[in-house]
Amino acid sequence: MSGPIDEYGRAAANRGITAIEVREGRTANIGSLGIVRVLPTKNRRTIGPWCFVDLMHADDVDRPPPLEIGPHPHIGLATVTWLFTGAVLHSDSLGTEQLIRPGQLNLMTAGHGIAHAEEGVASDETWESTGIMGVQMWLAQPEETRQAASIFQHVADLPEIEIGAARGRLLIGRIGETRSPASFAHPTIGLDLTLDGDSILPVDPAFEHGVVPIDRPMRVGDDIVDPGSLAIVPAGRDHLALGVRSLPARVMIIGGEPLGHDVKMWWNFVARTTDELTDAWRAWEVGDEERFGRVPSRLERIEAPIPPWISQPSNQ
């Protein structure tokens, strides 16, 4: 999915909150697809290693827009693709061609560099009433793996979990003895839950968490959080208290140990320094196939914008 081109240089006061904070997402378009971006948000770039959360939605639920995102590069992050409806064909420069359907996870870890394309595929499933097609999320890679080789994982068989009135799937990480087969090199959790009543979820106190309601408002602690908004729950708690009035209510829970440093994000890249972003931008500009490979896709390659810190050629 195409990234947050406007995030470079924004103040990254990631830490320091002690109470639950609620932030409204903002709407944007990626091609013809409408999205609500709930992370990054004002003064907050990461929750654990999660650095990017887009809700993909269709304004016209009877005629969802075609999802067509041509070949584009990534570095330093893992993309997490999770659908609620429809089907998407993923193709990447490792040679992967993988159809993803609801309930399955695509986890693409970019490391030093990968390129991929995503294309919606005709599906006869009925469109869910929310109009939300799925979520596209990124995990910032930790220092140990961020320059390493890229990896693609498709996990069709994720563990199902049930905790009180909450049931759903564990995308990544572990709960008690249950562990997701999706692997990521930093303590992380990702859950898709449906709540049939008020729920208390046990969580790791070393983790910070984000609560993203999908189809109904819910109470997180004492705060009401609407779909399209995010509740940020600081580390140090051993449970999340979620309250719901209308049932059932679907929610994504993300979290993890804080990365311990700031990340720099620009376009489709996550790095630590501006020079690293510039190197990746140049490599894509010149079509460096050693770094980004070649994507088997009929879609047109997406060109990178010029980074704002690169001086523009003068007309004179």
Residue closer to Mn ion by CB (options 145, 199) is: 145
> Which residue number has the CB closest to Mn ion?
1
Residue closer to Mn ion by CB (options 72, 209) is: 72
Shortest distance (Å) from residue 276 CB to Mn ion:
18
> Which structure tokens are listed for 224?
């009401």
- Residue whose pair of structure tokens reads 């030093």 in the numeric block: 112
Shortest distance (Å) from residue 66 CB to Mn ion:
17
> Which structure tokens are listed for 295?
């994507």
Shortest distance (Å) from residue 254 CB to Mn ion:
18
Shortest distance (Å) from residue 118 CB to Mn ion:
7
Identity of the residue numbered 55: L
Residue closer to Mn ion by CB (options 70, 173) is: 70
Residue closer to Mn ion by CB (options 1, 195) is: 1
Shortest distance (Å) from residue 87 CB to Mn ion:
17
Q: 124: which residues sit within 8 A by CB, 6+ positions away?
A: none
Shortest distance (Å) from residue 308 CB to Mn ion:
21
In this structure, the chain runs to a length of 316
Residue closer to Mn ion by CB (options 1, 203) is: 1
Contact between residue 57 and residue 39 where contact means Cβ atoms under 8 Å apart: no
Residues contributing to the site for Mn ion (CB under 5 A) = 1
Residue closer to Mn ion by CB (options 34, 258) is: 34
Residue closer to Mn ion by CB (options 1, 218) is: 1
Shortest distance (Å) from residue 115 CB to Mn ion:
9
